[in-house]
Structure 1
Amino acid sequence: MRDVQNQTDARGIAIQRVGIKDAHLPFLIKTKDGGFQQVLARIRFTVSLPMEYKGTHMSRFLEILMPWSTKPLAEPEMEAMLEEALERLDAQSAEVELAFKYFIDKYAPVSGRRSILDLDCRFKGTKRRGEAMGFELGVDVPFTSLCPCSKEISAYGAHNQRSVCRVEVRFQPGEECIFIEDLAKLVEAQGSSPIYPLLKREDEKYVTEAAYENPKFVEDILRDTVLALRKLPGIAWFSLACENYESIHNHNAFAAHEEYVARP
């Protein structure tokens, strides 16, 4: 059969990214303890297309992805996936992004009751032919924040809210990326208090009082997170977007920041 995609295109436009988006497949994500967690991933997978080709071969993206969906996955496996895409699709660059729910254990602060917290996570790999892969980890971390102004001006009480910090990190070439579990723990520690899916009465008392003793504006949370991320060994770049879902306003408080981390 005639290969229409490989026909010559005369318009002289190379396409930077072409491929598939919103494909869904199960994947096995490597965990900190050496095991893996099965997740359902939403996938965007693209390659560059030279100007002389009419189109890419969309079926090959799924052919590449399917075998990898049964193997525990982290940076080395993503790089191998991208290397295969470069070869099979005759491309100079390739990019894959997996978005998925990841679950971590949480233990209530007083009763010790175990529950499971879901985190929205992202793996993104970018690779050019002959170069090492650039890897980016993204995690949305929820926590509690309590307003310092409300605490200061009120005779009793203070308003608090559920907050989320959306963080993306990249590490220097040759440096291992942080685990999802460790990144989530680092970020949630910058809020007024962690959140827990399951709390008994004694836990709820502890959490609300802990938040009251640790009030923070969204600006405080962002700045403290910046300082914490700068200390990570090998980090090259990060992006933060912190949002407080306000309890006494019909809008949210928001702060964002990104930076490349200079190394001595």
Structure 2
Amino acid sequence: MSATNACTDLSCNILPDIASQPHAGPKGTLNWVGMSAIEIPVFVLNATGEKIQTLARVQAYVNLMDPHSKGIHMSRLYLALDNLLSMHELTPELLRKTVTQFVESHGSLSTAAYLECRFNYFEKRSSLVSDNRGWKNYPVRVAATLRGQQFDLEVQVEVPYSSTCPCSAALARQLIQEGFRDQFGEAVVNAQQVYDWLGTTQGISATPHSQRSMAQVKVKLAEKIRNLPLTSLIDRIENALQTPVQAAVKREDEQEFARLNAANLMFCEDAARRLKVAMSEDISVRDFWIRVNHLESLHAHNAVSVAIKGIEGGYQDDPHDYMTC
């Protein structure tokens, strides 16, 4: 037989499969094995029920329970993502189906799966006073975990807001009082004089410092939830804090924003307590973890406060769990 005709049977076309060969290295189980930085196009529902396409950056893992196996079948994770998740609406049921497929596709190798999707949630938000609306972007992370029959779904969102320091506000008021005394002394003044003076730069001689701040909230959803409550979660956070950053702004909106900041003076502790109350009242949330970050304009450092619901087996107050900002 000539060399050119040496491989005519099908066996010559079989590709080598190193993963199926006996594992000769160190033996042991592994907590998670998989892939990160996978880009998958998905859809999410907005407040009006419309499907909005976005790009999710995905992590996909299973555990490896067979100490003698070389590894998992990573292509099976990717194919499950492509078949089930790609170009589909992210829902709790779809996420459960996907992690279940992760485990089932690995037979006896795996008993647990983890799926994480990070994406930007864009939504048009109304201005404070004017009839305008503008786009705002909220970074979102959705994580699904399956261990045996236990399925957990976590949603994390970052919401920017403004915080004005109560201490700074009190110091500014004192300077304004002193300016009033210097201007009018002990004289009897009428209301119009005071009104006119308050409208001058001398009248408002000091302003409190405020800063852009960030609320980072993680929640574990109740099992009955059928859709990702992104808009309602953002609404609850912004309504609790009362000073959300704005997109489309006219002068009347800026004035209302200034009023809201003065009416909602907040240390980071105040903001965290407001959010803790708001999350405790949400029946769709089984557990929550909150971190507020006030990106100080006075200091070179940030002010931070963390709160958890505090249920047994829930989120723990561990430093390694802190997200940074």
With normalisation by structure 2, the TM-score equals 0.76
Between 138-147 and 229-238, report the one with greater CA deviation. Answer: 229-238
CA distance in 2, matches of 1:112, 1:166: 29
Shift of residue 229, structure 1, vs aligned partner: 0.6
Between 61-70 and 222-231, report the one with greater CA deviation. Answer: 61-70
The 3 A distance-change label for structure 1 pair 118 and 3 is: same
Aligned equivalent of 2:46: 31
The 3 A distance-change label for structure 1 pair 136 and 59 is: same
* 1:64 counterpart letter in structure 2: A
The 3 A distance-change label for structure 1 pair 216 and 177 is: farther
Correspondence for 1:58 among 74, 83, 86: 74
Please report the RMSD computed on the Cα atoms of aligned residues, expressed in angstroms: 1.8
Flag the structure with higher strand content: 1
Aligned equivalent of 1:84: 101
Shift of residue 53, structure 1, vs aligned partner: 1.1
Aligned equivalent of 2:194: none
Correspondence for 1:48 among 63, 69, 88: 63
Flag the structure with higher helix content: 2
Aligned equivalent of 1:165: 215
Aligned equivalent of 2:115: 96
Shift of residue 43, structure 1, vs aligned partner: 0.8
The 3 A distance-change label for structure 1 pair 44 and 52 is: same
Shift of residue 153, structure 1, vs aligned partner: 1.2
- Counterpart of 2:18 in 1: which secondary structure? coil
**Superposed, which structure 2 residues align to 1:233-244 within 5 Å?**
233-244=283-294
Aligned equivalent of 1:73: 90
Shift of residue 12, structure 1, vs aligned partner: 3.3
Aligned equivalent of 1:4: 18
Matched length: 261
* 2:70 counterpart letter in structure 1: K
Shift of residue 47, structure 1, vs aligned partner: 0.2
CA distance in 1, matches of 2:221, 2:60: 22
The 3 A distance-change label for structure 1 pair 82 and 23 is: same
CA distance in 2, matches of 1:191, 1:232: 15
| In the alignment, structure 1 residue 121 sits paired with structure 2 residue 140 | yes
| In the alignment, structure 1 residue 16 sits paired with structure 2 residue 31 | yes
Deviations 1:97-143 (CA, angstroms, capped at 9, x unpaired)? 000000122111111211010000011000123x1421001100111
8 Å Cα contact 2:153/2:221 also seen in 1: yes
- Counterpart of 1:211 in 2: which secondary structure? helix
The 3 A distance-change label for structure 1 pair 5 and 257 is: farther
The 3 A distance-change label for structure 1 pair 220 and 176 is: farther
The 3 A distance-change label for structure 1 pair 87 and 65 is: same
Shift of residue 77, structure 1, vs aligned partner: 0.3
The 3 A distance-change label for structure 1 pair 203 and 234 is: closer
With normalisation by structure 1, the TM-score equals 0.92
Aligned equivalent of 2:249: 199
Question: Quick check: which has more Rg, 1 or 2?
Answer: 2
8 Å Cα contact 2:163/2:294 also seen in 1: yes
The 3 A distance-change label for structure 1 pair 76 and 5 is: same
Deviations 1:48-94 (CA, angstroms, capped at 9, x unpaired)? 11222111122222211112211112100011111111111232000
